[in-house]
Amino acid sequence: MSIELAHNTSVMDTVHGAIALLDHEKSVIDHPLFQRLRHIAQNDVLFLVFPGATHSRFAHSIGVMHVAQRMFHAMLDAARYERKRLGLGEPGDAASAGVAYLASVLRLAALLHDTGHGAFSHQMESAPAIRAMIDAEGQFERLWAGVDVGGFYSQAPTHLEHEHYSIRSAHAILSERLPAGSESMVQDVLNVMETTDGGPSERFCAAASAAWGLIAPGTTAPEGAGALVMGLLGDIISGELDADKGDYLLRDSRYTGVAYGLYSLDNLANNLRFGYQAQEQWLGIAVNRKGLPEFENFVLARFGMFRHVYAHKTAIGFEILLLRAINEVMEDASAAAQLSAMLSDIRHFAYLTDAFFWERFRARAMVDPVSASARLLARDKLPFLGGANALDLAAKRKAAAAIAESTGVRLGDIQYRCSLARFSAIGEDYRAIRVLVKGPGGERAYRPLVAESDFFGRFESVERTNFYLDPPSAA
């Protein structure tokens, strides 16, 4: 069975409009493990502060696929133009087929990248009781029982994160929903995603070599073309300029009602290029020099969202209550047993949603009206006492003592939580993304970002420590 475009299949998205789907992608989306994402909030309990933030990982995942496609196709269009400039003509059917395979792998990797998120997205795996379950000895082996993982994991990881569950979910979905004989595509999709360390399949390598003339026009495909192209696709999925951020910045801005995360996707995508330097064997994302301001805006948008939305002082207080409420649920042996089964067997993982906890929060609140569960449901927020940046442990304790003295609150009733608003990993030694600089004769050079812009040295990541009164009646 061939994979063909389902011309009449599309999904209407709030952010991107109509997003076209291929037949096999629709089948993937209809799988229970993907449908689960409808019931996972994109931003855990942020809606308690920003009421519109009720959107799901489901919509985000489809949006990431769309953004990845736009990035890849924009780079392809620029490469086609470069071929014409060089007088190389049309690349041929083999190159087109190679590009189609690479695009299919990229779209699936983008679509499935978040399928391993547990309830409340990042928050659930931070709860101590659940972290202990995830890190239990033999958990990876139980999760992958009966499956040969040698094609994507050289050794079993001992510390699991949601990305590992995304790989397991993606494997289950693709194995059931792709046509027979798609083992190579399954392997390639998983190896483009995070945490895996396998290499490209023979099919991927052949596709990369065939498509090379559309990726690096005027150059000869190197021996390791497959690995280079796989790394490039991985950068589109997860990196400093990736499709994940490309979607969630726009989506989270829209649903929270703020402008901090806005940037021009059209302008950014249209200024992306495939970058290749044969001497270094570097293949990566290049930003056209005239598009550098839009990339700077993209980086600043993420920084703004973390500082003013994701790390909002009231939202952080609710995250404290959420983690405590999750631990209350885990005190129930029946709930803990169910969750253990969900985290150990991918078939049961399909039932792990936010609702699993919300219903148990309500049950706990009925019998314990002063519980964290009850407070979360009633939106009984932790009173904010103050905050400061860049405190070490001793400084945090000193600040808490000063707050206690100035407010009359008992020191033992002060709770603090740290959050990091990361600016960027781009510094003097960063080379994963480069700037395309063209000479007067059309010659091309790829320069480090910091050599073309002083923007990345103007800001730095900010760790914020917030202090809260807990319980509020202690004053």
Residue 274 pairs in a beta bridge with 285
- DSSP code of 415? E
List pLDDT tens digits, range 221-261.
Answer: 999 999 999 999 999 999 999 999 999 999 999 999 999 99
Query: Has residue 78 got a pLDDT over 90?
Result: yes
| Cα 201 from chain centroid (whole Å) | 24
Give percent above pLDDT 70 in the chain. 97
Mean per-residue pLDDT for 433-453? 93
Q: Which residue has the tokens 């070490």?
A: 392
List pLDDT tens digits, range 400-425.
Answer: 999 999 999 999 999 999 999 999 99
Mean per-residue pLDDT for 45-55? 98
Could you tell me if residue 147 is inside a domain? yes
Mean per-residue pLDDT for 149-173? 97
Query: Has residue 442 got a pLDDT over 80?
Result: no
Residue 414 pairs in a beta bridge with 469
List pLDDT tens digits, range 336-394.
Answer: 999 999 999 999 999 999 999 999 999 999 999 999 999 999 999 999 999 999 889 99
Residue 432 pairs in a beta bridge with none
Could you tell me if residue 59 is inside a domain? yes
Q: Which residue has the tokens 């979910």?
A: 169
| Residue-level pLDDT at 440 | 86
Could you tell me if residue 144 is inside a domain? yes
End-to-end CA distance of the chain: 69
Could you tell me if residue 365 is inside a domain? no
Longest Cα separation, the chain: 78
Host domain of residue 24: 10-313
Amino acid identity at 246: G
Mean per-residue pLDDT for 171-198? 97
Confidence label for 142 from pLDDT (cuts 50, 70 and 90): very high
Interatomic CA distance for residues 400 and 405, integer angstroms: 9
* Other beta carbons within 10 Å of 193: 24
Could you tell me if residue 377 is inside a domain? no
| Residue-level pLDDT at 3 | 44
| Residue-level pLDDT at 305 | 98
Query: Has residue 472 got a pLDDT over 60?
Result: no
Residue 433 pairs in a beta bridge with 285
List pLDDT tens digits, range 293-322.
Answer: 999 999 999 999 999 999 999 999 999 999
Contact 28, 232 (CB under 8 A): no
The Cα-based distances of 389 to 108, 299, 405 in angstroms read: 40, 21, 20
Could you tell me if residue 407 is inside a domain? no
| Cβ within 8 Å of residue 69, ≥6 positions away | 103, 106, 107, 110
Interatomic CA distance for residues 274 and 79, integer angstroms: 7
| Residue-level pLDDT at 4 | 46
261 backbone dihedrals φ, ψ, rounded to 5°: -95, 10
The Cα-based distances of 21 to 65, 72, 160 in angstroms read: 10, 16, 31
DSSP character string of 182-209: -HHHHHHHHHHSTT------HHHHHHHH
| Residue-level pLDDT at 390 | 84
**CB half-sphere exposure, 252, CA atoms < 13 A:** 25
What is the chain's length? 475
Could you tell me if residue 462 is inside a domain? no
Interatomic CA distance for residues 316 and 383, integer angstroms: 11
**CB half-sphere exposure, 284, CA atoms < 13 A:** 22
Give the mean pLDDT of the chain: 95
Q: In what order do the strands lie in the sheet with 462-469?
A: 384-389, 462-469, 414-421
Measure the CA dihedral 136/139/142/144, to 10°.
180
The Cα-based distances of 163 to 125, 194, 206, 211, 434 in angstroms read: 11, 6, 28, 29, 27
Burial 382-411 (b: 16+ CB within 10 A, else e): beebbbeeebeeeeeeebbeebbeeeebee
Interatomic CA distance for residues 343 and 358, integer angstroms: 18
Interatomic CA distance for residues 152 and 149, integer angstroms: 6
Could you tell me if residue 211 is inside a domain? yes
List pLDDT tens digits, range 315-334.
Answer: 999 999 999 999 999 999 99
Among 393, 400, 427, 428, which residue's Cα sits nearest to residue 414?
Answer: 400
Q: What is the CATH number of the domain that holds 188?
A: 1.10.3210.10
Mean per-residue pLDDT for 147-167? 96
DSSP character string of 99-151: HHHHHHHHHHHHHHTTTT-BTTBTTGGGSHHHHHHHTSTTHHHHHTTT---TT
Task: Report the alpha-carbon angle 384-389-390, nearest 5.
Answer: 135
Among 209, 213, 207, 222, which residue's Cα sits nearest to residue 86?
Answer: 213
List pLDDT tens digits, range 200-217.
Answer: 999 999 999 999 999 999
- pTM to 2 decimals? 0.95
Query: Has residue 2 got a pLDDT over 50?
Result: no
Domain count, the chain: 1
Contact 343, 133 (CB under 8 A): yes
List pLDDT tens digits, range 92-127.
Answer: 999 999 999 999 999 999 999 999 999 998 889 989
Confidence label for 8 from pLDDT (cuts 50, 70 and 90): low
Among 129, 49, 118, 122, which residue's Cα sits nearest to residue 326?
Answer: 129
| Residue-level pLDDT at 1 | 33
Give percent above pLDDT 90 in the chain. 92
